Chain A
Amino acid sequence: MRIYLFCFALLLGGAAQAEVFERTLPNGLKVVVKEDHRAPVIVQQIWYKAGSMDERTGVTGIAHVLEHLMFKGTATVPAGEFSRRIAAAGGRENAFTSYDYTAYFQQLHKSKLALAMQLESDRMRNLSLAPAEFAKEVKVVMEERRWRTDDEAHALLQEKMMAAIYQQHPYQHPVIGWMDDLQALTVGDAKAWYDRWYAPNNATLVIAGDVKAAEVFALAQKYYGAIPKRVMPPRRNFDEPKQLGIKRLVVKAPAELPHLVMSFRAPVLRDPAQDWQPYAIEVLAGVLDGNESARLNKHLVREQQVASGVGVGYDSFSRGPGLFVLEATPSEGKTVIDVEIALRKEIEQLVKEGVSEEELRRVKAQVMAGEVYKRDSLFYQAMQIGQLESLGLGHRAVPLMLEKLQAVTAEQVRQVAEAFLQDDSLTVAVLDPQPLSGKPKRPSQGASHAR
């Protein structure tokens, strides 16, 4: 019954590294192969190191619009035909765009790998970008935005919170783009984006499944090898200015229940060997919210009954700056002020008294079991490789990351809580629910005067 739970992204790392092979083609395309012979299937994923954080003001959403346009035809494969051919081969396919990267994938019987590579390599180079297809597809994206964000109170809260947290960093813009920008985008913007980022030396190809690495490398050379390397534009690394004090915002949207989100600026993993704080923050998230009887649910939902739902979010994998997020929905009769006070008490107590060895062991046990469970999902294993490569951390760092995570001490968890759960780097966002009729049905629930 978690009402709105952020992804709890523990480091579910790679087990048998011996089964992973990699090679970089002469044109700079890195190919990583994960052999897994449990079932006669494969997944192909191609990850481009270009996400919405590489956009500029005024053209937000172009990374995601281009992702949609990648299905709209090349010189030799007409619009819609990519999907038809993958479907006819028994495949499933889709794509996703994030702040940090854009990825495309197909899942198929192992005999279809060459087909998938042929189609995927074709659209790395030869996309048509016809104006008529652009005009239709950008409308689809606007509908997607209305559906995901404009009519979803919690998504609106999230979007406006990110815009409030970041003054300079492009994470201030939503991945799907501002509606006004979507309306202004042109096919020329899409072309410029494609030409800038879609090159073999800006991508990682991940193949997982019932394959032999040597055969995959040969196929990859055949289909992707002829695509020329391109000079990549310099990447701007934005150093978000230091936050100098708490920020608060209120979002009014149609809903029944108020909601509170507390986002603290937090470090992310940059050097898997030298860093220790991100690992300790991962464990902190687990101590607070790793199971139904972890601190927040046990104290706020079950015992005090001040909240009807709680959640913790932290992702140590990120190209840009990181956040440690606490959120809660007040119970009937309680307010966002009540849940904020309750969350603050949890932080204070943890900083003062630390965490127990038992809590620490429990989080680590879940991580290690997750290592075994992840072998049941070929797709997830490929995802992890692609993500780590795209962020520049490298998939080979996984065993080290697990080791570092296991080495986290109770004192380190206390230290990161003390260091980073500070008001000066905090943004508090509150959803002030509005009646559907547009007329207030009762006094505001304290949302607008939370302090």
Chain B
Amino acid sequence: MRVKSLFVAALCCVASAALATPAIQQWQSTSGAKVLFVENHDIPMLDVAVSVPAGSSFDTAEKSGVAGLTHHLLDLGADGLSEDDVARGMADIGAQFGGSFDQDRAGVSLRTLSSAAERDKALDIMSRVLQRPLFPEEILVREKARVIAALKEAETKPESIADKAFQQAVFGDHPYALQVSGEIASVEKVAVADLRAFYEMHYQAGGAVVAIMGDVSREQAEAIAEQLTVGLPSGAAPAALPAVATKIPASEQRIVHPASQSHILLGAPGMARSDPDYFPLYVGNYILGGGGFVSRLMNEVREKRGMAYSVYSYFMPLKQPGAFQIGLQTKKEQADVALELVRTTLAEFIAKGPTEKELIAAKQNIVGGFPLRIDSNRKILDYLSVIGFYDLPLTYLDDFPGKIEQVSVVQIREAFARHLNPQAMATVIVGAPEGESK
């Protein structure tokens, strides 16, 4: 009775949510950048993010770390501004300057008050950082030392050790296997010329996506997009990434570590952002291990047996298929039991798919919770960047609840079977139970 009435209410949400979807405007700047804009004057502030295809997957194994350092040094000296000028200039007006970096994307973001004095100053600094970075030699030397220190520290952390081994097992020779910050030996070799060359090649206006959200007019947004991209490099587009080999052999690595818990990862190449199975895999993963306290993995490992605090699964949708990953931490003595439980749960899910009841519950959550995905300027800005960068339709948000509703049990089962083979997965156990380490 309760479930039924909730379901009806959830459907009502869809209607009201659809009405509240932000109106996205899109155009191309004269420099060739793609611009996405949502005008909103509720709060006197402005959020801007510029993304370029310049993530760690554009590194080579020999120079792994160049992409990350290029991104990291952007605001450490640009066009007559020292690193202190940049940081203080932003702080003086209360502006927040940030960055994001992953395998695909390098991003620079700004949050500022929208009043003209603050906005103009913040955008002036941002435009110089983006378009005329200096990459000073002495700062590169200093920052390389800091990155190397952090990499050495990471080599002692079970979660970092596990992640590195996992990425290599899943992606092999593909650049998605490279650590996003590089390797100690390769970072040591990075020179200013590498950063300049990487910048010229990968920070091109033609590949840039400008997301603008907040208290400016369309006319102002157009001017901002010009200001931020007109001086970006232009030239031939860089070569596309090689394809990810989506089938991998089964593997299991047991790595010794003194931690009290074993850190377990298992998975395989998953799906690309453009995969036609995106929605069945997304909904299916919610049921398997994505849905907080109500997923199958959480129920089996934590709720029924108290074996872990955190257990999860996710697909990382990238330009190329990113990883499907299950992760958990559990005390060493029971690691093998927990791993077996996870494998059984996964294999059963892939073989049989979810139940109708589970699918209804998943849709209720994802569709009913849709308004929470777009309830702030920050969240909408992130959607603008993703929609622009991954060439999703401008109606992506409008279509989202409907796409979720259309997913069926059969689609989920078939999509999982197409993408994942439980017999051919990479497993990494750091802090493996005593006496069994290889």
Q: Does A368 sit within 8 A of B, measured CB to CB?
A: yes
User: Within the complex, what minimum Cβ distance (angstroms) separates A61 from chain B?
Assistant: 14
CA distance in complex: A151, B10 (Å): 42
Residue of A84, A136, A143, A309 contacting most chain B CB atoms (<10 Å)? A143
Q: Does B128 sit within 8 A of A, measured CB to CB?
A: no
Residue of A nearest to B115 (CB): A372
User: Within the complex, what minimum Cβ distance (angstroms) separates B5 from chain A?
Assistant: 10
Q: Does A254 sit within 8 A of B, measured CB to CB?
A: yes
Q: Does B6 sit within 8 A of A, measured CB to CB?
A: yes
Residue of A40, A87, A135, A255 contacting most chain B CB atoms (<10 Å)? A87
Q: Is the CB of B292 within 8 A of A83?
A: yes
CA distance in complex: A38, B215 (Å): 14
Cβ of A372: which chain B residues have Cβ within 8 Å of it?
43-45, 113
Q: Does A240 sit within 8 A of B, measured CB to CB?
A: no
Residue of B153, B257, B292, B375 contacting most chain A CB atoms (<10 Å)? B375
Contacts A41-B372, A139-B307, A373-B45 known; A308 to B150 CB distance under 8 Å? yes
Contacts A90-B368, A111-B9, A372-B43 known; A39 to B376 CB distance under 8 Å? yes
Q: Is the CB of A436 within 8 A of B156?
A: yes
Contacts A109-B368, A436-B258 known; A151 to B303 CB distance under 8 Å? no
Q: Is the CB of B16 within 8 A of A40?
A: yes
User: Within the complex, what minimum Cβ distance (angstroms) separates B74 from chain A?
Assistant: 13
Q: Does B270 sit within 8 A of A, measured CB to CB?
A: no
CA distance in complex: A302, B146 (Å): 11
Q: Is the CB of B111 within 8 A of A373?
A: yes
Q: Is the CB of A41 within 8 A of B309?
A: no
Q: Is the CB of B6 within 8 A of A89?
A: yes
Q: Does B223 sit within 8 A of A, measured CB to CB?
A: no
Residue of A nearest to B213 (CB): A376
Q: Is the CB of B306 within 8 A of A38?
A: no
User: Within the complex, what minimum Cβ distance (angstroms) separates A74 from chain B?
Assistant: 15
Q: Does B331 sit within 8 A of A, measured CB to CB?
A: yes
Q: Does A362 sit within 8 A of B, measured CB to CB?
A: yes
| Interface range for A | 35 or more
Q: Is the CB of A88 within 8 A of B374?
A: no
Q: Does A7 sit within 8 A of B, measured CB to CB?
A: no
User: Within the complex, what minimum Cβ distance (angstroms) separates A363 from chain B?
Assistant: 8
Q: Is the CB of B91 within 8 A of A291?
A: yes
Contacts A143-B307, A293-B83 known; A90 to B376 CB distance under 8 Å? no
CA distance in complex: A85, B264 (Å): 30
CA distance in complex: A40, B14 (Å): 12
Q: Does B291 sit within 8 A of A, measured CB to CB?
A: yes
Q: Does B96 sit within 8 A of A, measured CB to CB?
A: yes
User: Within the complex, what minimum Cβ distance (angstroms) separates A138 from chain B?
Assistant: 8
Cβ of A332: which chain B residues have Cβ within 8 Å of it?
145, 148-149
**Which of B96, B148, B291 contacts A373 (CB under 8 A)?**
B96
Q: Does B197 sit within 8 A of A, measured CB to CB?
A: no
Cβ < 8 Å to B, chain A residues 329-373: 329, 331-332, 361-362, 365-370, 372-373
User: Within the complex, what minimum Cβ distance (angstroms) separates B65 from chain A?
Assistant: 13
Q: Does A237 sit within 8 A of B, measured CB to CB?
A: no
Cβ of A142: which chain B residues have Cβ within 8 Å of it?
331
Q: Is the CB of A89 within 8 A of B294?
A: no
Interface string of B191-234 (1 = CB under 8 A from A): 00000000000000000000000000000000000000000000
CA distance in complex: A309, B153 (Å): 13
Q: Is the CB of B371 within 8 A of A298?
A: no
Cβ of A139: which chain B residues have Cβ within 8 Å of it?
306-307
User: Within the complex, what minimum Cβ distance (angstroms) separates A95 from chain B?
Assistant: 11
Q: Is the CB of A1 within 8 A of B72?
A: yes
Q: Is the CB of B156 within 8 A of A305?
A: no
Contacts A83-B294, A137-B306, A140-B309 known; A92 to B95 CB distance under 8 Å? no
Q: Is the CB of A151 within 8 A of B152?
A: no
Contacts A41-B375, A362-B92 known; A146 to B83 CB distance under 8 Å? no
Contacts A84-B361, A90-B10, A368-B94 known; A309 to B146 CB distance under 8 Å? yes
**Which of B45, B118, B292, B331 contacts A92 (CB under 8 A)?**
B292
**Which of B17, B84, B291 contacts A298 (CB under 8 A)?**
B84
Q: Is the CB of A147 within 8 A of B310?
A: yes
Interface string of A38-64 (1 = CB under 8 A from B): 111100000000000000000000000
**Which of A41, A89, A108, A362 contacts B91 (CB under 8 A)?**
A362
Q: Is the CB of A146 within 8 A of B331?
A: yes
User: Within the complex, what minimum Cβ distance (angstroms) separates B295 from chain A?
Assistant: 10
Q: Does A107 sit within 8 A of B, measured CB to CB?
A: yes
Residue of A nearest to B377 (CB): A376
Q: Does A169 sit within 8 A of B, measured CB to CB?
A: no
Contacts A88-B361, A362-B88, A369-B93 known; A143 to B329 CB distance under 8 Å? yes
Q: Does B278 sit within 8 A of A, measured CB to CB?
A: no
CA distance in complex: A151, B156 (Å): 11
Q: Does B387 sit within 8 A of A, measured CB to CB?
A: no
Cβ of B113: which chain A residues have Cβ within 8 Å of it?
369, 372
Interface string of B155-174 (1 = CB under 8 A from A): 11010000000000000000
Interface residues of A (CB under 8 A from B): 1, 3, 38-41, 71, 79-80, 83-85, 87-93, 107-109, 111-112, 115, 135-144, 146-147, 150-151, 254-257, 290-294, 298, 301-302, 305, 308-309, 329, 331-332, 361-362, 365-370, 372-373, 375-378, 433, 436, 438
Given contacts A136-B306, A436-B258, 9 further A-B pairs with CB under 8 A are A85-B6, A87-B365, A92-B369, A143-B331, A146-B259, A256-B149, A256-B153, A256-B155, A293-B84
Give 5 nearest A-B pairs by CB, closest first: A90-B368, A369-B94, A139-B306, A90-B369, A39-B375
Would you list 22 pairs from A and B whose C-beta atoms are within 8 A, ordered by A residue? A39-B20, A39-B375, A87-B293, A87-B364, A88-B365, A89-B368, A91-B369, A109-B17, A109-B368, A135-B306, A136-B306, A146-B259, A151-B259, A256-B149, A256-B156, A290-B91, A291-B88, A292-B83, A293-B91, A373-B111, A375-B42, A436-B257
